[in-house]
């Protein structure tokens, strides 16, 4: 090994170390931003190092070099503009688009690089198959999240039979390519099957399962990138892809457990009603509260826990929620946010929204931290959350049975800001709303929180 090769390997090792450190720092809101920068810096150095290697080895001609430069600059500018302009409420669909880009790029690598060894041909097949499913599936998921594709499950007639047939055809192409040194056209056949399968895979999955689906597609993207690394014999790609794939797989399992649903059941689809507001069929009376009464309860509380849900994200009310929490804190009230793992449309959606509104990191509590505190809480303020607070989950025989929930009904008082008594994704009534300790404040999340803040100033002790 030459001195140049040794330095390159050491640089790649340092980049891989940055990936690991950055991923670890993303484990906590307080260090997530720094972790993202560390990982990005590592990837930037890896890209520059690869460019130096290509130039040193004379592996690219002038035309190809210009294509790489233009493509890299165009991608960087597009990513920068998209990341800066996107609203925090639209972050899930942007993440899905990034998943699509990653999976598609990985598949194109295998399609464009003629594999020579048995190891490379096998990984090329896996790369094209996984990358193709990820690309089309992520585009459909992004469309569902953005409202361009209906959020409810769309069952394609004979969809499972078609998917099985596509899998069989793709397997035949794979055997032809790997076992009999088939033409590169075999890979294009696998890609076509994978693209159709990705659409059929994602369409039947409803909005309730979107957080898990995004995490699963992220794991697919990482796996496809790792396979592309084997095709190109690129250590940084293998390491980065393996890290993303493993992290995504672990997160997918954790998210599925948080919904008390198996990954197989989620992939089977058919769960979740989309964004349509259902009319509650409950015959039980509910107690309605005025803004003034709710503000008085908050003003004289010793401890308040705010529970954000998708309704807060849809109304873009994170800044109003943080402003209310800050006002309560200034008046001596202890405030925290109880965040369910599947609240919102992607893993960590609520954390991202609240952090963007400058909520103190130490106030963001997960389900395990929050549940023991509810019995010592004076007022729980629920903003747009539904199924994750439904006590029916503690009983068998309904769609949310067994799902870990936030034990908000153990607090002394509960105030729910909601536009109506509409159902959540599970399509059932929330038994919390008829609890004698629960009061309903019917309002849009943004307007309701703003009104509470105004009332708090008026009735502050």
Q: pLDDT tens digits, residue range 156-210?
A: 888 889 999 999 999 999 998 887 776 778 889 999 999 999 999 898 887 667 7
For the cut 50, the answer to whether the pLDDT of residue 36 exceeds it is yes
The tokens for 126 are 């896996």
Which has more confidence, 119 or 71? 71
pLDDT tens sequence across 415-452: 999 988 877 766 788 999 999 999 999 999 999 999 99
For the cut 90, the answer to whether the pLDDT of residue 324 exceeds it is yes
The tokens for 39 are 């990982």
Active-site residues, by number, are 387
Instruction: For the chain, state the CA radius of gyration.
Output: 25
Kindly give the pairing relationship between strand 379-383 and strand 303-308: parallel
Kindly give the pairing relationship between strand 334-339 and strand 438-442: unpaired
Kindly state the percentage of the chain with pLDDT values over 70.
93
Closest CA to 214 of 94, 339, 308: 94
Q: Rounded to whole angstroms, how far apart are CA atoms 140 and 207?
A: 12
For the cut 60, the answer to whether the pLDDT of residue 287 exceeds it is yes
> With bands split at pLDDT 50, 70 and 90, how would you rate the model's confidence at 275?
very low
Residue 312 near residue 189 (C-beta atoms within 8 A): no
Q: Rounded to whole angstroms, how far apart are CA atoms 328 and 206?
A: 37
Q: DSSP assignment, residue 288? A: B
Amino acid 104: pLDDT: 93
Mean pLDDT across the stretch 297-310?
94
The tokens for 436 are 């004698």
> With bands split at pLDDT 50, 70 and 90, how would you rate the model's confidence at 276?
very low
| Domains in the chain, CATH or no CATH each | 3-268 (no CATH), 291-459 (3.40.50.1220)
Closest CA to 337 of 356, 351, 327: 351
Measured at the CA of 226, the angle between CA 51 and CA 124, to 5 degrees, comes to 95
Mean pLDDT across the stretch 79-93?
82
For the cut 90, the answer to whether the pLDDT of residue 235 exceeds it is no
Amino acid 269: pLDDT: 63
Q: Which of 18-22, 86-90, 121-125, 330-334 has the lowest mean pLDDT?
A: 86-90
Amino acid 279: pLDDT: 44
Amino acid 328: pLDDT: 95
Residue 275 near residue 315 (C-beta atoms within 8 A): no
Q: Given the structure tokens 């130490």, which residue do they identify?
A: 362
Q: Is 150 exposed, middle or buried (0-12, 13-18, 19+ CB in 10 A)?
A: middle
Q: Which of 36-45, 319-328, 350-359 has the lowest mean pLDDT?
A: 350-359
Q: Which residues contact 2 (CB under 8 A, 6 or more apart)?
A: none
Q: Rounded to whole angstroms, how far apart are CA atoms 335 and 254?
A: 27
Q: Which residues contact 344 (CB under 8 A, 6 or more apart)?
A: 92, 211, 308, 309, 310, 313, 350, 353
Element (H, E) at 284: none
Q: Which residues contact 206 (CB under 8 A, 6 or more apart)?
A: 151, 152, 153, 269, 270, 271, 272, 273, 274, 425
Which has more confidence, 150 or 4? 4
Burial 44-62 (b: 16+ CB within 10 A, else e): ebbeebbeebeeeeeeeee
Which has more confidence, 460 or 352? 352
Q: Rounded to whole angstroms, how far apart are CA atoms 141 and 311?
A: 19
Q: Which residues contact 368 (CB under 8 A, 6 or more apart)?
A: none
Which has more confidence, 20 or 398? 20
Element (H, E) at 339: strand 334-339
For the cut 70, the answer to whether the pLDDT of residue 278 exceeds it is no
């Amino acid at each position: 090994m030459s001195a140049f090769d040794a330095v390159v390997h050491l640089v790649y090792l340092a980049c891989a170390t940055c990936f690991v450190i950055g991923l670890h720092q993303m484990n906590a809101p307080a260090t997530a931003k720094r972790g993202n920068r560390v990982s990005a810096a590592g990837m930037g150095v890896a890209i520059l190092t690869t460019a130096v290697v290509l130039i040193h080895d004379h592996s690219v001609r002038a035309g190809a070099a210009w294509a790489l430069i233009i493509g890299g600059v165009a991608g960087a500018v597009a990513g920068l503009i998209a990341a800066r302009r996107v609203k925090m409420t639209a972050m899930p669909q942007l993440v899905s688009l990034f998943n699509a880009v990653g999976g598609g790029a990985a598949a194109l690598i295998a399609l464009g690089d003629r594999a020579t060894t048995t190891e490379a041909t096998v990984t090329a097949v896996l790369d094209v198959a996984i990358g193709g499913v990820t690309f089309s599936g992520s585009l459909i998921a992004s469309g569902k999240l953005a409202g361009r594709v209906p959020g409810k499950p769309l069952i394609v007639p004979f969809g499972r039979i078609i998917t099985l047939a596509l899998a069989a055809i793709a397997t035949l192409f794979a055997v032809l390519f790997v076992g009999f040194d088939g033409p590169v056209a075999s890979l294009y056949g696998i890609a076509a099957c994978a693209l159709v399968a990705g659409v059929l895979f994602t369409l039947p999955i409803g909005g309730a399962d979107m957080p898990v689906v995004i995490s699963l597609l992220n794991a697919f993207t990482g796996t496809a990138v790792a396979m592309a690394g084997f095709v190109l014999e690129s250590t940084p790609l293998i390491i980065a892809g393996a890290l993303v794939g493993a992290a995504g797989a672990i997160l997918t399992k954790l998210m599925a457990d948080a919904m008390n649903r198996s990954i197989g059941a989620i992939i089977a689809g058919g769960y979740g009603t989309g964004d349509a507001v259902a009319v509650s069929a409950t015959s039980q009376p509910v107690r309605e509260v005025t803004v003034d009464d709710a503000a008085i309860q908050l003003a004289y509380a010793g401890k308040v826990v705010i529970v954000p849900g998708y309704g807060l994200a849809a109304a873009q009310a994170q800044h109003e929620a943080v402003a209310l929490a800050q006002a309560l804190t200034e008046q001596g009230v202890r405030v925290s946010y109880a965040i369910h793992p599947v609240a919102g449309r992607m893993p960590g959606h609520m954390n991202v929204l609240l952090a963007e509104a400058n909520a103190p990191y130490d106030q963001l509590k997960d389900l395990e931290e929050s549940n023991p505190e509810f019995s010592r809480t004076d007022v729980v303020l629920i903003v747009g959350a539904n199924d994750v607070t439904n006590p029916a989950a503690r009983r068998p025989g309904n769609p949310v049975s067994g799902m870990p929930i936030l034990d908000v009904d153990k607090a002394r008082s509960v105030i729910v800001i909601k536009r109506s008594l509409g159902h959540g994704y599970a399509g059932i009534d929330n038994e919390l709303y008829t609890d004698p300790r629960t009061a309903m404040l019917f309002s849009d999340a943004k307007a309701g929180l703003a009104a509470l803040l105004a009332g708090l100033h008026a009735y502050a002790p």
